[in-house]
Amino acid sequence: MNSERLIKKYPNRRLYDTEISRYITLSDVRTLVMDCTNIKVIDTANDSDITRSILLQIMLEEEAGGKPLFSATMLAQIIRFYGGTLQGMFARYLETSLDLFARQQQEMTQSWTENPFEAMTRMTQKNVEIWADLQKDFLRAAHFDFGNQRKKTEDAP
């Protein structure tokens, strides 16, 4: 079952896990995320969904300690997409890319019993196809349609 685990945030800033009926920490929420548990965090003061804010808070803590995942250059580039015409496309691109990366990581783990070179070759071929499709979608969203231009030049006498 793919249901969301409801966590309530109270005005005293405490997080309450409704499934286990106890208060939890931000670290516990991180563990749920790492265990691939779908969560939804609701602010009890106004019933708003604050899941993204809690997840961003976890990311900030992760970035502050240890080895950061995002460089300052990367963060600046992401910020530049906010409010732009391609913001939605960029968000879908990032989400699709991360989903693909996670699936491939899982496939790699499962394929260690096979010939690793065959597994890598198969994955590389699949990557090329997926990235080509993503690029076509991106260009289409930016109103570039090279397929129609090619077709017009092929139809010309």
Alpha helices in the chain (DSSP H): 26-34, 51-64, 72-81, 87-110, 116-141, 146-155
Can you give the pLDDT at residue 9? Answer: 97
Strands 5-9 and 39-43: parallel
Burial of 41 per CB tally in 10 Å (0-12, 13-18, 19+):
buried
Residue 148: per-residue pLDDT: 55
Do 53 and 76 fall within a single domain? no
Measured CA distances, 24 to 14, 81, 119 (Å): 7, 34, 41
Domain that holds residue 151: 72-155
On whether both 59 and 76 belong to a single domain, the answer is: no
pTM of the shown model: 0.70
The confidence score (pLDDT) of residue 1 equals 47
pLDDT recorded at residue 149: 52
Query: pLDDT averaged over consecutive 10-residue blocks of the chain (157 residues)?
Result: 87 94 96 96 97 96 89 92 87 86 79 72 81 78 62 52
35 and 85, same structural domain? no
Report d(CA 43, CA 45) in Å as an integer: 5
Instruction: Kindly state whether residues 104 and 128 are assigned to the same domain.
Output: yes
Count of domains observed in the chain: 2
